[in-house]
Amino acid sequence: MANEAAATAAPEGVRERGARQELVGVVTSAKMDKTIVVKVTRTAQHPLYRRVVRSAKKYYAHDETREARIGDTVRLVATRPMSAQGNSGPVEPGGLSRLSRGPQ
């Protein structure tokens, strides 16, 4: 048991990275070079009226392979800032993790 725990632990001097924030949204624009705009919609209950309120926010994400198209549902992961506006990168370093394909 002690050997198993030692084998799975990170080596000394190397800090294990915490869980990164992941967001799921729809691609709204893919016109920029290696950058896409993703619209993430969240739902929350209004504190007074108890109705479900939808709010949307745009995120700029890095798309190295330029394979994302408008209408695709993609998963973003928070990264260090890549530019003045873009703070999200793809889940996989090689490209976007596409969940579903929108209308062609």
With respect to residue 33, please indicate whether it lies within any of the assigned structural domains: yes
Q: What is the pLDDT of residue 92?
A: 40
With respect to residue 5, please indicate whether it lies within any of the assigned structural domains: no
Rg (the chain; Cα; Å): 18
Q: What is the tally of structural domains in the chain?
A: 1
With respect to residue 2, please indicate whether it lies within any of the assigned structural domains: no
Q: What is the pLDDT of residue 86?
A: 81
pLDDT 10s digits, 52-80:
999 999 999 888 888 888 888 888 888 88
With respect to residue 44, please indicate whether it lies within any of the assigned structural domains: yes
User: Tell me, what CATH number does 25's domain have?
Assistant: 2.40.50.140
With respect to residue 7, please indicate whether it lies within any of the assigned structural domains: no
With respect to residue 4, please indicate whether it lies within any of the assigned structural domains: no
Q: Where are the beta strands (DSSP E) in 1-104?
A: 22-32, 35-45, 52-62, 73-78, 88-90, 98-100
Range of the domain at 81: 14-100
Residue 11 φ then ψ, to 5°: -60, 160
Mean pLDDT of 33-62: 94
With respect to residue 80, please indicate whether it lies within any of the assigned structural domains: yes
- Both structure tokens of 83: 């530019």
Three-state secondary-structure class, residue 103: coil
Output 22 or 14, whichever has higher pLDDT. 22
Label the pairing between strands 73-78 and 22-32: antiparallel
